[in-house]
A and B are shown apart, each in its own frame.
Chain A
Amino acid sequence: MSQLTAPKIVTSRIGFDDSFTLDRFLATGGYEGLRKALTMSPSEVCAQVDAASLLGRGGAGFPAGRKWSMLRKNDVSYLVINGDESEPATFKDHLLIERDPHQLIEGVLIAAYALQVNQAFIFIRGEFALGLERLQSALNDAYAYGAVGTKILDSSFSIDLVVHPGAGAYICGEETSLLESLEGKRGFPRIKPPFFPAAIGLYGEPTVVNNVETMSNLPWIISNGGDAFAALGETPSTGTRLFALAGHVRNPGVYELEMVKNTFRDLIFDPALGGGVPSGGRVKAFIPGGVSAPWFYEEDLDTPLGQGQVADKGSMLGSGSVVVMDDSTCMVRAAWRITRFFSRESCGQCTPCREGSGWLERILYRLEHGEGRVEDLDLLLDLCDNIAPGLSWPPQQTTICVLGPSIPSSIHSAISHFRDEFLAHVKEGGCSYA
C-alpha cells in the first residue's frame, strides 16, 4: 500500500501557476529558512543537515553533511550547484528549476552560509532555456529583495550567486567535468586523486558540488529541523525524494514520495501515481535509477524506494529516474539505444570508454538489424568486462570517471535476462518487435 501522507518538502508550490515568482514564494514561507539559518552559527546549520542525514540527490547518494565536513579549510572556497540534469529519463531538477527557482536559491544561500564559501555558482544545463530565464529572473528579484548580495536580509553575511549556462554535454554532470566546464574549458573529467573537489575544486580551491534537489531540501530542513526530516523514511534513506517516472506507465511524471515507505510497485501501479502499465501490458523490465543502473524485473517490484534497499538488490536508486518497459519492448533495441547514448557522450579521454562504447554500439546495432552472430553475445560481455572488470556492481573502474563503467549495466542486464531474445534476433535475421 502506498504511503502518501508525508509532507511535500520540495514540491509544495508546484501546484500554483505562479510558483516561480517572488510574490508566491514569499506568500508561502519563502526565505524563512534562510532568515532562521542566519540567526544560527554556520556549524549549527551544518549540524541540522547532519541530523537530517540528507543524502545527495544527484545520483551517488553521498551524505551531504559529510561532503560538507570534508571541505578543506582555506581562505577561499566555493559552492557549485549541479543542475546539468542529463541522465536519460531524469527530469526532476528540470521541474525544481523551472517551477520553484527561489526555493533553489534559498537552499544555495543556506548552504553558502553554512560552508562560509566566498561565491556560489548554479550550473544549469543549456537546454533548459526557460529554466535559465526563470532562475535568472528569480535571482534578479532575490537581489532586489535583499536576499542575495551585501549583508543579506540585514545580517552580516554577504554573498554573490551566479547562474551559469551549460552548452550541451552529458559528461558535465560529472562533478570534476562540471568544474572544468565552469572554468571555460572542454568538459573533461579530472584525474583522481584528489577524489573530491572539497580538497581541490574550482580554480584549484576547495569546492562543494551539490545537486539541485539536495539544495531545494535545505529551506524545509532548517525551518522544521533536521530531526523532522530524519523522522521521514528510514535511516539512512531519510526524508522524501523526487522520482521521475517515465516509459510505459499511464501517468508519467515527477512524484515526491517518502523514502523507503513505498515500493516500485506503488510508484508504478498506484492510481494516484503511475497508474499502471497501459493497455494491459506487463512490466518486462524497469530501470530503477537512471540508465547507468542495472535493470530490475517484475520480481523486483516490491523493493522499497530506499538507497540501501535498491543497492542490496544489485542496482542503484541513482538519479531517481524510473523507466518502465512493458512486454512490447525489444530489449536489444533498448540496450542498443542506451549504449549509443553513452558512445555519443563519452568525452574520449579513456580508451576503454571511448573505443568500447563505439564497438558495443555497433555490435548491438547489427544484432538488432539481423546481421548479428551468436558469438556476438559473448563478445559484448567480453568488451563490457574490459570496461568494468568482473561486471560486478558497483562496477570496477578502468577509466577516469564513472561514465565508462556505467555502459555495461544495460547490456549485461539485457543479455542476462533476455538471452533468448538476442538469439532470436540472430536466428530470425532481425527484430520481431519492429
Chain B
Amino acid sequence: MSALTPDRRTRAEHLVALYPEKRSALIPICHIAQEQEGHLTDELMIEVAELVGVTPAEVQGTVSFYDMLRIEPVGKYVVSVCTNIACLLAGGEEMLEHVEKTTGTRRGGTSSDGMFTVEEAECLADCDVVPCVQINNRFVRTTTPETFDALAARLRSGETVTDIPTSGIVSRVERSVGLVADPEVVAQERSALRASDQKATS
C-alpha cells in the first residue's frame, strides 16, 4: 500500500528517471511527499527510501539536514521572516515580533488554529524589499505591519490567494517530458564531436 497518493507516486517515479543515479531524486521527491501531509511522516519517508533505493534511516538522515524539509506538522501557512543583515537594518526583528503577535504564536511554533507557523529565516535573497517575508516560500513583500496584517486577515478568512498556494515549491509546474536524449546516442555524438574538434584544432 503506497503512502503517496497515486498521482504523487507517478510524479515521484518520473523524478527518479531524470537522474543517472536514483538517490538524486531524494530531495525533489521529499518536496512532493511533504506537501501531501504538510510534513514527512515515517510512512512517507519509508516510501521515499524504497523509491530511491536507500534505507529509511538514510532518508531521515538527509531530511534532518535541510531547513525546508519537516518531520513535524506545520500550519497551513508557514510565515518566514528574515532577520539577517539587510533585513536587520530595516527592522526585520521588529517585523518578526509583530508577526508573532498577529498570528498568536512564537517563532518556531504553530498557532492553535493550525493556520500559521512562524519561522525566523536566514537571508531569502530579496533584499531590496525589506524586511523580507515569505509565506509558503512565496515572497509576499509585506514590508509594514499593516500590510502584513491585511494579508494575514485575508488568509485567515479562508480567502484563496493565488500567489500563496498551499501546495509546495515544485508542485504547480511539472516537467512536461522525461529525459529524451538517449545516453548511447549522446555518447556517440560526444566521441564524434571530440574527434572532429581535435582534427580541427590540430
Contact = CB atoms under 8 A, between A and B. Distances in A.
A140 B23 contact: no
Contacts of A130: 138-139
B25 A184 contact: yes
Given A89-B84, A186-B61, A132 B138 contact: no
A187 B177 CA distance: 28
A75 B28 contact: no
Contact of B125 (A43, A91, A140, A323): A91
Given A203-B20, A247-B85, A167 B122 contact: no
A174 B31 CA distance: 22
Contacts of B196: 41
B128 A254 contact: yes
B197 A42 contact: yes
B187 A75 contact: yes
Contacts of A156: 189, 192-193
A92 to B, nearest CB: 9
A277 B134 CA distance: 27
Contact of A246 (B25, B80, B86, B200): B86
Interface stretch (A333-341, A359-367, A379-387): A333-341
Contacts of B62: 184-186
Interface stretch (B65-73, B99-107, B153-161): B65-73
Interface in A383-410: none
Chief secondary structure at chain A's binding surface: mixed
27 contacts: A41-B201, A42-B193, A44-B200, A86-B123, A89-B86, A89-B123, A91-B127, A91-B128, A119-B181, A127-B68, A127-B134, A130-B139, A132-B170, A144-B176, A156-B193, A158-B189, A166-B66, A166-B68, A167-B68, A168-B66, A169-B65, A184-B54, A185-B23, A186-B61, A248-B89, A254-B128, A321-B127
Interface of B: 18-21, 23-28, 30-31, 52, 54, 61-62, 65-69, 80, 83-86, 88-89, 122-128, 130, 134, 136-139, 168-170, 172-177, 179-183, 185-187, 189-190, 192-194, 196-197, 200-201
